[in-house]
């Protein structure tokens, strides 16, 4: 028996019929067609599927769609309007914070919550804060820099980043 | 500063995300903006082709076709940059389109071997320069002025004396009719505006906003999903299966027998087709399958490794010989021998294998996937399914990592086969368990090392004997077992150490599962044995390990320069705190040359990796930021392979399943990395993607020896318990 749920996704309310055992990540990707939320493991290991549920970061492969009933979801597509970048996205851009970019949406959702709770984290706090998210490509150090950039920018602090030379 | 940046960001973002309003960048995922692939590329009116890689439209729109798939290594930027530099346009002014194996885009439609820049640097610059000269000539004809009085800049041709100018769009038609210059003049590197500069990558805004489309994100109307049951004991025969419970799963549409074609193997499989992926997975779990393992269930790692050790007594095939190893070894004042062991590993790119295929009437085929080899996807699929290449449209999408895994088409053929059988577009998605368990794997190598030193410690005899399964034997039916498989002895005979008597050999071990190239291939395992053993020799010679290498290495070679630089940047002679140690290693192989110094400290029973200094020898570079990123990424991958679980087998099956028991390094475990690039602008260009891997494990283990006196000769090892 399908169940009817109502969720607000990136500010828009949706009423959907879902299988009771459907995972939230599959609802996001296949029903809502928001493919920026990725799947890397299906087993809570990698964090590629991280979204914000009522403002808290969760791995959307570990909860059922029906558990999101009545709640608000933010995915990577809701972080900034099309054509714009928020401070984290800009931080990733200017600091080469990704290679393949498959882990990036999850990293950014996790970092969004981290900066919300702790606007000026130490490097150590950033590393621990993101340690649930895997990146197979980068070596992580530029991801830390990207988050530091966003933290500084959000607080109106001049960053040490050098003026980027654009092509 | 930041405002400025955002403004530029925004322009670039708009252009790439296909919402410029010009209408020729087409979203392929139901309205979501994304990158462009040839299959969806629709040029505007009046488009003129200057070589297949450059289109210029009357409107002024410039398109550069990228033949090298983006797997994270930065080709999406690097390849168009080489053309744009000489064409005198910025990447901001061009649309980048990924090709899909179409014949007209030529034979370079693949990525691997760190070859995308080093293999194309001059050719792609010439491509851009030819088009520029044609545009310049067209302008000079139109103005009736000498060619030399004109110059190109910023997408326009200017007439220097008068200051008048014409945009490329206005000149495109006339220019495209001119003869292509045979030897266009290339820019002096000191005038470069793009090449050699650290510039943010154009794909990052897309990827950081969820709007980039990876293979796994593709969709097409009427698409269904497939999850495939493959026997955990690879190579087993399918006896029978019962899908009655599967068919009761809501959303399951049908179950079909299919096949996985990987290297020389063809494995029987069962595909569960459903309306959505979740239903396909549930249906697959409900299958009851009988396999005939045909004796393969007796295979396990323990016995296999014992076998390899016993094979080390065999003579093996000769890889390289100089002087008289036997004689000099037996006469040597100091002798040493050691045996090194490494594991199988998985590629584990973070995006699982996937492919969407749509086989339609008239044997037409459309494919959407992540792949390193678009050219081979088209030609291989045409051959395998006996249809003309022209019937195939391939959309090469962004790869969520690859590391060699996406060099072969097994997952693509699966989707094609199923779509053909069910006459529907079908998306095959592998689970992480499928990806971890089903291979192909990087082969392990064992190494039997011998060295003879003179009384004063000089190396006079050296042997590296490799005992390993043959990678190519699992990929090619006609593989010749009587010859050395050079992949399995990768570069062991090409290091720049000048040792008068050397004998390197290879003993092949039988192995009957799919193997494949992994980032930096067997250099990743052979360098471990080779460079740790050089360290053992230095210890026996009572010499500093870095100076020992310098004393042995060919004078004025790139390796010598690299080691000197490494010594300098790592402050090699500076005293370390108590309980710390440092180690060095280098390895030169087909992809390039990198050396590293690793610093470690004792921490309880274990070891902490404090810092890695890397020096990579490049010759010439396109984007130093990308090079540094690649080296750092190679280092994290190498640390994972050195200290985390490898792939092992028991009862014929892979023991590891997912990231919890086949882990990769997490952010809080990552050391500080400092990358230095040697780029003296030489003609010889080396690769960036792979060379950072091989030196890490030996430099790390040499550092651990320096800190603890414990010599590690087997990977992986538990860094928390040394
Ligand atoms: S897909 Fe959810 S944690 Fe990996
Ligand atoms: S950039 Fe590829 S997984 Fe993080």
Q: Pairing relation of β-strands B156-159 and B165-167?
A: antiparallel
CA distance B287 to B680: 60
Give per-residue pLDDT as tens, B535-567: 999 999 999 999 999 999 999 999 999 999 999
Instruction: Give the model's confidence band at B308: pLDDT under 50 very low, under 70 low, under 90 confident, else very high.
Output: very high
What predicted TM-score, i.e. pTM, was given to this entire model? 0.94
Work out the average pLDDT over B681-707. Answer: 93
Q: CB-based burial of residue B362 (10 Å sphere; 0-12 exposed, 13-18 middle, 19+ buried)? A: exposed
What is the CATH classification number for the domain harbouring A130? 1.10.150.120
Question: Could you tell me if B210 and A76 are in contact, meaning their C-beta atoms sit under 8 angstroms apart?
Answer: yes
Compute, in angstroms, the gap from residue A98 CA to the centroid of ligand 2: 6
Q: How many CB atoms lie within 10 A of CB B24?
A: 19
Residues of A in contact with B397 (CB under 8 A): none
Torsion of CA B385, B386, B388, B393, to 10 degrees: 0
Work out the average pLDDT over B87-107. Answer: 91
Give per-residue pLDDT as tens, B652-676: 999 999 999 999 999 999 999 999 9
The answer to whether residue B30 scores a pLDDT higher than 80 is no
Residues of A in contact with B660 (CB under 8 A): 43, 45
Ligand number, closest to the Cα atom of A23: 1
Work out the average pLDDT over A41-50. Answer: 95
Secondary structure letter of residue B344 according to DSSP? B
Same domain, A58 and A96: no
Residue B385's nearest CA partner among B361, B359, B408, B405 is B359
pLDDT of residue B48: 93
Residues near B60 by Cβ (< 8 Å), separated by ≥ 6?
Answer: B155, B167, B168, B169, B170
Domain contains A17: yes
Same domain, B324 and B357: no
CB contact under 8 A, B200 and A166: yes
The answer to whether residue B289 scores a pLDDT higher than 80 is yes
CA distance A151 to A144: 11
pLDDT of residue B33: 31
CA distance, residue B264 to nearest chain A CA (Å): 28
Residue of A102, A143, A151, A162 to mutate, interface with B, max B Cβ within 10 Å: A102
Same domain, B114 and B145: yes
Question: Could you tell me if B76 and B96 are in contact, meaning their C-beta atoms sit under 8 angstroms apart?
Answer: yes
Same domain, A11 and A66: yes
Mean pLDDT of chain B: 92
pLDDT of residue A159: 63
Q: What percent of chain B has pLDDT over 90?
A: 86
Mark out the alpha helices in B571-651 (DSSP H runs): 624-643
Q: CB-based burial of residue B478 (10 Å sphere; 0-12 exposed, 13-18 middle, 19+ buried)? A: exposed
Same domain, B289 and B365: yes
Same domain, B361 and B474: no
Same domain, B686 and B664: yes
Residue B387 structural domain: 215-295+353-429
Instruction: Give the model's confidence band at B570: pLDDT under 50 very low, under 70 low, under 90 confident, else very high.
Output: very high
Number of domains in chain B: 3
CA distance B83 to B76: 12
- Per-residue buried b or exposed e for B584-605, using 16+ beta carbons within 10 Å of the residue's own CB: bbbbbbbbbbbbbbbbbbbeee
Same domain, B140 and B29: yes
Ligand number, closest to the Cα atom of B660: 1
Residue A17 structural domain: 3-78
Residue B374's nearest CA partner among B77, B35, B67, B112 is B67
Torsion of CA B241, B245, B249, B251, to 10 degrees: 40
Same domain, B449 and B412: no
Q: Which two tokens stand for residue B297?
A: 């269930």
Residues of A in contact with B201 (CB under 8 A): 93, 96
Q: Of A78, A111, A143, at which residue does a domain stop?
A: A78
Give per-residue pLDDT as tens, B10-25: 333 333 333 222 222 3
Mark out the alpha helices in B18-98 (DSSP H runs): 75-87
Q: Of B408, B429, B450, at which residue does a domain stop?
A: B429
Ligand number, closest to the Cα atom of A60: 1
CA distance B294 to B161: 82
Residues of A in contact with B208 (CB under 8 A): 76, 85, 88-89, 92-93, 97-98, 101, 104-105, 108
Instruction: Give the model's confidence band at B413: pLDDT under 50 very low, under 70 low, under 90 confident, else very high.
Output: very high
CA distance B304 to B648: 10
Q: CB-based burial of residue B423 (10 Å sphere; 0-12 exposed, 13-18 middle, 19+ buried)? A: exposed
CA distance A21 to B646: 34
Nearest to B633 among A77, A99, A101 (CB): A99
Residues near B486 by Cβ (< 8 Å), separated by ≥ 6?
Answer: B319
Same domain, B220 and B205: no
The answer to whether residue A167 scores a pLDDT higher than 60 is no
Compute, in angstroms, the gap from residue A20 CA to the centroid of ligand 1: 20
Work out the average pLDDT over B387-408. Answer: 96
Same domain, A60 and A114: no
Domain contains A159: no
Work out the average pLDDT over A125-138. Answer: 96
Residues of B in contact with A88 (CB under 8 A): 208
Give per-residue pLDDT as tens, B464-512: 999 999 999 999 999 998 999 999 999 999 999 999 999 999 999 999 9
CA distance A88 to B19: 22
pLDDT of residue B29: 28
Q: Of B429, B458, B486, at which residue does a domain stop?
A: B429
Instruction: From residue B636, give the alpha-carbon distance in Å to each of B55, B524, B644.
Output: 39, 13, 11
Same domain, A27 and A10: yes
Complex ipTM value = 0.94
Taking the Cβ of residue B9 and every Cβ of chain A, the question of whether any pair is shorter than 8 Å is answered with yes
Domain contains B5: no
Domain contains B1: no
Q: How many CB atoms lie within 10 A of CB B333?
A: 12
The answer to whether residue B329 scores a pLDDT higher than 70 is yes
Work out the average pLDDT over A28-41. Answer: 96
What is the CATH classification number for the domain harbouring B388? 3.30.365.10
What is the CATH classification number for the domain harbouring A33? 3.10.20.30
Q: Of B181, B209, B237, at which residue does a domain stop?
A: B209
Q: Chain A residue with minimal CA distance to B276? A: A30
CB contact under 8 A, A99 and B211: no
The answer to whether residue B355 scores a pLDDT higher than 80 is yes
Domain contains B686: yes
Domain contains B4: no
Q: Of A78, A99, A123, at which residue does a domain stop?
A: A78
CA distance B663 to B640: 7
Compute, in angstroms, the gap from residue A59 CA to the centroid of ligand 1: 6
Q: Chain A residue with minimal CA distance to B662? A: A45
Nearest to B9 among A85, A103, A131 (CB): A85
The answer to whether residue B609 scores a pLDDT higher than 70 is yes
pLDDT of residue B43: 76
Element (H, E) at A159: none
CB contact under 8 A, A85 and B19: no
Taking the Cβ of residue B261 and every Cβ of chain A, the question of whether any pair is shorter than 8 Å is answered with no
Work out the average pLDDT over B297-303. Answer: 98
The answer to whether residue B34 scores a pLDDT higher than 50 is no
Taking the Cβ of residue B352 and every Cβ of chain A, the question of whether any pair is shorter than 8 Å is answered with yes
The answer to whether residue B3 scores a pLDDT higher than 80 is no
Work out the average pLDDT over B451-470. Answer: 98
CA distance B171 to B56: 9
Number of domains in chain A: 2
CA distance, residue A3 to nearest chain B CA (Å): 14
Question: Which residues approach ligand 2 with their CB closer than 6 A?
Answer: A 98-103, 135-138; B 72, 350, 401
Q: Among B42-51, B104-113, B178-187, B437-446, which stretch is predicted with the lowest mean pLDDT?
A: B42-51
How far, rounded to the nearest angstrom, does the alpha carbon of residue A18 sit from its chain's CA centroid?
Answer: 23
Work out the average pLDDT over A28-57. Answer: 96
Nearest to A93 among B17, B72, B208 (CB): B208
CA distance, residue A115 to nearest chain B CA (Å): 17
Same domain, A9 and A63: yes
Give me the phi and psi of B167, to 5 degrees please. Answer: -75, 155
Which residues, in sequence order, are bridge partners of residue B404?
none
């Amino acid at each position: 028996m399908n169940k009817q749920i109502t969720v607000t996704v990136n500010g828009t309310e949706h009423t959907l019929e879902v299988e009771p055992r459907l995972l939230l990540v599959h609802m996001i990707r296949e029903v809502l067609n928001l493919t920026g939320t990725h799947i890397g493991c299906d087993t809570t290991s990698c964090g590629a599927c991280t979204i914000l549920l009522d403002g808290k970061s969760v791995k959307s492969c570990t909860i059922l769609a029906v558990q999101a009933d009545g709640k608000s979801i933010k995915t990577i597509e809701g972080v900034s309007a099309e054509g714009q970048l928020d401070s984290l996205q800009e931080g990733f851009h200017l600091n080469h914070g990704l290679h393949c970019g498959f882990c990036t949406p999850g990293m950014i959702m996790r970092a969004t919550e981290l900066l919300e709770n702790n606007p000026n984290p130490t490097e150590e706090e950033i590393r621990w804060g993101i340690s649930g998210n895997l990146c197979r490509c980068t070596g992580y150090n530029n991801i830390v820099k990207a988050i530091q950039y966003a933290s500084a920018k959000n607080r109106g602090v001049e960053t040490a980043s050098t003026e980027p030379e654009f092509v | 500063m930041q405002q400025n940046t955002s403004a530029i960001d925004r322009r670039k973002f708009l252009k790439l995300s296909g919402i410029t309003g010009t209408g020729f960048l087409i979203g392929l995922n139901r309205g979501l903006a994304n990158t462009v692939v040839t299959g969806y590329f629709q040029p505007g009116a009046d488009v003129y082709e200057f070589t297949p890689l450059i289109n210029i439209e009357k409107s002024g729109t410039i398109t550069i076709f990228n033949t090298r798939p983006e797997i994270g290594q930065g080709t999406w930027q690097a390849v168009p940059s080489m053309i744009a530099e000489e064409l005198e346009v910025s990447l901001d002014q061009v649309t980048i389109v990924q090709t899909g194996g179409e014949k007209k885009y030529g034979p370079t439609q693949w990525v691997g071997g760190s070859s995308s820049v080093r293999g194309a640097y001059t050719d792609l610059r010439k491509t851009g320069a030819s088009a520029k000269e044609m545009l310049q000539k067209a302008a000079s004809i139109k103005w009736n002025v000498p060619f030399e009085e004109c110059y190109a800049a910023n997408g326009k041709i200017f007439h220097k004396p008068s200051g008048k100018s014409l945009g490329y769009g206005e000149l495109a038609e006339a220019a495209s009719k001119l003869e292509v210059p045979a030897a266009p003049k290339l820019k002096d590197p000191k005038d470069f505006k793009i090449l050699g500069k650290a510039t943010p990558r154009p794909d990052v805004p897309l990827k950081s906003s969820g709007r980039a489309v990876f293979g796994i994100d593709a969709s097409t109307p009427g698409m269904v999903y497939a999850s495939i049951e493959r026997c955990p004991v690879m190579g087993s025969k399918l006896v029978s299966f019962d899908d009655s419970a599967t068919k009761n799963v809501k959303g399951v549409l049908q179950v079909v027998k299919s096949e996985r074609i990987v290297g020389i193997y063809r494995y029987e499989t069962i595909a569960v087709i459903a309306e959505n992926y979740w239903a396909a997975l549930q249906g697959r779990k409900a299958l009851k399958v009988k396999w005939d393992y045909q004796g393969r269930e007796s295979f396990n790692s323990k016995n296999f490794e014992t076998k390899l050790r016993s094979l080390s007594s065999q003579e093996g095939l000769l890889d390289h010989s100089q002087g008289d190893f036997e004689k000099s070894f037996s006469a040597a004042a100091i002798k040493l021998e050691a045996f090194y062991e490494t594991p199988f590993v998985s590629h584990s790119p973070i995006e699982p294998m996937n492919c969407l295929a749509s086989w339609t009437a008239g044997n037409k085929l459309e494919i959407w996937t992540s792949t390193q080899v678009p050219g081979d996807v088209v030609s291989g699929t045409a051959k395998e399914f006996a249809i003309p290449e022209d019937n195939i449209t391939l959309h090469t999408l962004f790869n969520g990592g690859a590391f060699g895994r996406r060099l072969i088409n097994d997952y693509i053929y699966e989707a094609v086969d199923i779509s053909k059988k069910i006459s529907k577009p079908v998306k095959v998605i592998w689970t992480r368990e499928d990806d971890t368990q089903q291979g192909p794997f990087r082969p392990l190598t064992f190494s039997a090392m011998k060295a003879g030193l003179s009384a004063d410690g000089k190396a006079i005899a050296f042997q590296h004997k490799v005992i390993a399964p043959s990678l190519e034997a699992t990929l090619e039916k006609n593989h010749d077992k009587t010859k050395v498989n050079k992949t399995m002895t990768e570069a062991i005979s090409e290091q720049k150490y000048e040792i008068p008597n050397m004998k390197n050999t290879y003993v092949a071990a039988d192995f009957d599962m799919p193997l494949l190239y992994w980032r930096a291939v067997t250099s990743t395992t052979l360098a471990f044995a080779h460079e740790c053993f050089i360290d053992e020799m230095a210890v026996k010679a009572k010499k500093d390990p870095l100076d020992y290498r310098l004393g042995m290495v060919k004078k004025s070679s790139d390796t010598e320069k690299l080691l000197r630089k490494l010594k300098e940047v790592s402050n090699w002679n500076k005293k370390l705190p108590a309980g710390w140690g440092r180690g060095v290693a280098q390895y030169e192989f087909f992809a390039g040359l990198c050396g590293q110094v690793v610093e470690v400290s004792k921490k309880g029973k274990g070891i902490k990796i404090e810092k890695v200094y890397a020096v990579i020898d490049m010759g010439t570079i396109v984007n130093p930021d990308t090079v540094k990123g690649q080296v750092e990424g190679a280092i994290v991958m190498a640390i994972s392979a050195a200290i985390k679980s490898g792939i092992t087998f028991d009862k014929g099956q892979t023991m590891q399943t997912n990231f919890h028991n086949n882990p990769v390094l997490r952010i809080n475990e990552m050391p500080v990395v400092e990358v230095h690039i040697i780029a003296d602008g030489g003609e010889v260009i080396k690769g960036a993607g792979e060379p950072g891997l091989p030196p890490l494990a030996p430099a790390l283990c040499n550092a651990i020896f320096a800190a603890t006196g414990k010599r590690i000769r087997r990977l992986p090892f538990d860094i928390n318990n040394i």
